[in-house]
Amino acid sequence: MATIVDTNSITTVVETNSVAVRKSSSRFDPKYEEKKRKYKHRSKVIKYILFVLNLFSWVVAVIAIVISYYILLGTKKVVTDAIDFILDPAIVLFIVASITCIMAVFGCIGTIKGNRYLLRVFYIMLGFMIIIELIFGVLIWLLFSAPVSTEKFMDRPRQRLTLALHKYKDDRKLKAWIDSIQTEFKCCGISHSEYGYRDWQANIYFNCSRFNPSSERCAVPMSCCIFKYGDLRNEMCGFDITNKERHAVNHRIYTQGCLKGFRNWFHKNEILITILAALFIAPQMAIVLLARTQVKFMRYKISTVKPPAQL
């Protein structure tokens, strides 16, 4: 009987086997082995660097979470609106630390376990954080550096921050925060003008209306007052202020609003702020690049260590 031979199938089997033999023989090629050793060494170095950085970030984040939690627990503050949320450093610290902690866990587990999917999630999350930081930095620059857009961008922050003046006497932490800002930036009130001290009339205790029975009527907080080194701090230094013109009180208090004061401070320290921002973002970008490189090494390891498919 005649035997029918399928030459096409024989050719395919022979070609597949020859490819498998070449892949198998390449494992004993000295150049291949040297290349594999280099990749393995680099992968280990990056692995330990990523693990140490993520572990350090996790420890710092946990400490920050504990500190912010005890601060919030001690004050027993109830968040009633966006101002309470934004202007409470403990709440902001708790949220940022929690996000950092989650990211660090992804980074640590992905690095130690060699899980490229967790590492990918880690560097994507970190990449989004960097983008948000850059957008925030650009907005800050537009807000306090670009003169054309200053007034346009100032309206919304001024409206929101003015609400904080209403709660000055009702929230101890907010009071301390506002006092520290006014002292640090040598300002009084919120607005971006030389008459910022008049913003304090928005507070019911400092309101200059004749119907206000408060002893602090027409006053500003003591943190607005100008004190020289060695001066005794008079708690009544800010009394009877907001009903007077700027030239009559500028020797007693800082009259410019804090948005203007911060802008002046920003201009004086613009180069230093840029350098610090770059030093803050650059390591994060380096970590993203390291994580991406590690994922590539993992892919290379999978593609070279796994034996060729057997027919």
Please report, in tens digits, the pLDDT of each residue of the chain (311 residues total).
Answer: 444 444 455 444 444 444 444 444 444 556 655 666 666 667 778 888 888 888 888 998 899 889 888 877 766 555 555 555 555 677 778 888 898 899 889 888 888 888 888 888 888 998 998 898 888 888 777 776 665 555 555 666 666 677 778 888 887 878 888 898 898 889 999 887 888 899 998 888 998 888 888 888 889 999 999 988 777 778 888 898 988 898 889 889 999 988 888 888 888 888 888 888 888 888 888 888 888 888 887 776 655 544 444 43
Q: What is the pLDDT of residue 128?
A: 92
Cα–Cα distances in angstroms (integers) from residue 168 to residues 46, 80, 114, 257, in the given order: 50, 15, 52, 16
Q: What is the pLDDT of residue 224?
A: 93
Residue 243: how many other CB atoms lie within 10 Å: 13
Question: Contact at 8 Å (CB) between 238 and 222?
Answer: yes
Q: Taking the model in full, what pTM does it have?
A: 0.63
| In the chain, where the domains are located | 28-145+270-304, 167-174+181-260
Q: What is the pLDDT of residue 26?
A: 47
d(CA 199, CA 203): 8
Q: Where are the beta strands (DSSP E) in the chain?
A: none
Instruction: Return the HEC string of 96-160.
Output: HHHHHHHHHHHHHHHHHCCCHHHHHHHHHHHHHHHHHHHHHHHHHHHHHCCHHHHHHHHHHHHHH
Q: What is the pLDDT of residue 225?
A: 93
Q: What is the pLDDT of residue 80?
A: 56
d(CA 6, CA 32): 37
CB-facing half-sphere around the CA of 15: CA atoms within 13 A: 6
Q: What is the pLDDT of residue 32?
A: 56
**Chain centroid to CA 126:** 11
Q: What is the pLDDT of residue 31?
A: 61
CB contact set of 187 (below 8 Å; sequence gap of 6+):
181, 196, 224, 254, 256, 257, 258, 260, 261, 262
**Chain centroid to CA 56:** 17
Question: Contact at 8 Å (CB) between 309 and 25?
Answer: no
d(CA 269, CA 277): 12
* Burial state string for 42-52 with b = 16 or more CB within 10 A and e = fewer than 16: ebeebbeebbe
